[in-house]
A = this chain, B = another copy of it.
Amino acid sequence: MGKDLAISMTATTSNEATASTVNLGPAAGLASKESGARIPLAPEFVSPDDFSPLEVVYDFGNVRREDIEAGPRSIWRYKQLLPVPPNVADYPNTEPGCTRLIKADRLAAELGVRKLWIKDDTGNPTHSFKDRVVAVALAAAREFGFKVLACPSTGNLANATAAAAARAGWESVVLIPSSLERAKVLTTAVYDGALIAVDGNYDDVNRLATELAAEHEDWAFVNVNVRPYYSEGSKTLGFEVAEQLGWRLPEQIVVPIASGSQLTKVDKGFQEFGQLGLVEPTPYRVFGAQATGCSPVSAAFRSGHDVVQPVKPDTIARSLAIGAPADGPYVLDTVRRTGGAIEDVTDAEVVEGIRLLARTEGVFAETAGGVTMACAKKLLETGKLDPDAETVLLITGDGLKTLDAVADQVGPRATVPPSAAAVHEALERGRG
């Protein structure tokens, strides 16, 4: 990891946009996540002070509910809380966000939970939460003078990056593991950017991206050299949940863990809303969900470790299959600080989770959603999730992208000739 970080620090833009020329709204600078040492806004992701990750720091000023409510029906309603220019909505972008938060009474009844909500992010333009983070990354990259949008991806990010670049009229370079699901490959390729399949797993592809980011001054790798901006996009999931609950925080939230960034940013979103007086800063607990076949953060949590030991992923939940999760330690911090827990589930449980959510609430999640669903169930069964506390499950990607996970489990009850009698017979058989 040290080598990759050292290389990446040499990356600057060809345009040499600096803190004095860029306008990223409330964003005031970048700070080391460890020491807090600040540098000006720049396309950097590693602190020169201590080589730890950089995070955006803000001067928020006064942010009012009315201003947010009067904003567009997209993540740009929260632009006063994001590292984006005030005119961000004027540039062509995919306009993600404002996805539905549905009250899941049938699922709640089945699980024995008092009050349960599903935040269904499959309604985004390319049907995952990645549209949020990419939109913020693109806005920041534009300010820094980049010309190419790039990423290494397990799939959803590839879709989002290629679509956002197409809409903005940017070139894109997208790197994916060659083993990726067909749906995610085609749904990236159709946008006609440069899609390159790499023989290796996601961690291999990620290392390659870090190397390329250092070599190409005008490529904004959304989750590498502009990662501090990109990752702030996940705060909008927390913002929306709170606004949709009527400007208040839930008591428990279950979030899937890939790099771990999303979980920490949902927490950050809740905190910022509380600090700004947009909601009462009521206590909440953050829970993490992993697939057992790639559960380094869950394993560290269980063992009481602060360090996450990388693993070689082997799970159908490929969008969570990051064996060396960059934000793993921060996930552990967040979960422990809030009194949550981290769980992991087998691939069979993932498929059961997908089917349970579909059957009870009509929401068809991808494998990552099956992980969240199944982990929530397990956390309830083991008494870690409180069934009496209001709970939100984050469903961050779409079942249409991972059809193979359910393909041998579901299908028509029967194939019949076009006659009413044949239909009746098939229905009777189904009941029998």
Contacts and interface: CB of A to CB of B under 8 A. Distances in A.
B415 A178 contact: yes
Nearest to A199: B417
Contacts of A74: 100
Interface string A388-408: 000000000011110100110
Contacts of A98: 73, 98
B399 A197 contact: no
A194 B400 contact: no
A304 interface: no
A190 B399 contact: yes
Contacts of A355: 190, 192
A173 B403 contact: no
A192 B126 contact: no
Nearest to A403: B186
Interface stretch (A29-37, A42-50, A101-109): A101-109
Nearest to A404: B186
A416 B166 contact: no
Interface stretch (A8-16, A52-60, A202-210, A331-339): A202-210
A410 interface: yes
A170 to B, nearest CB: 10
A92 B106 contact: yes
Given A125-B120, A182-B403, A362-B125, A194 B430 contact: yes
Interface string A205-223: 1011001100100000000
A87 to B, nearest CB: 15
Contact of A360 (B100, B166, B175): B166
Which of the listed residues A98, A185, A196, A420 has the most CB atoms from chain B within 10 Å of its own CB? A196
User: How many copies of this chain sit in the oligomeric assembly?
Assistant: 2
Nearest to A105: B92
Contacts of A411: 185-186, 189, 195
A199 B422 CA distance: 11
Contacts of A122: 125
Given A196-B416, A199-B417, A364 B187 contact: yes
A426 interface: yes
Contact of A163 (B185, B189, B197, B362): B362
A200 interface: yes
Given A125-B362, A167-B362, A196-B412, 14 more contacts: A98-B98, A123-B124, A126-B362, A126-B364, A163-B364, A173-B427, A186-B410, A187-B364, A187-B400, A190-B355, A192-B358, A195-B411, A197-B414, A212-B420
23 contacts: A74-B100, A92-B102, A95-B100, A106-B167, A125-B363, A127-B400, A163-B358, A163-B364, A166-B359, A166-B361, A166-B362, A182-B407, A183-B183, A186-B410, A190-B355, A190-B406, A194-B427, A194-B430, A196-B423, A198-B416, A199-B417, A212-B420, A400-B400
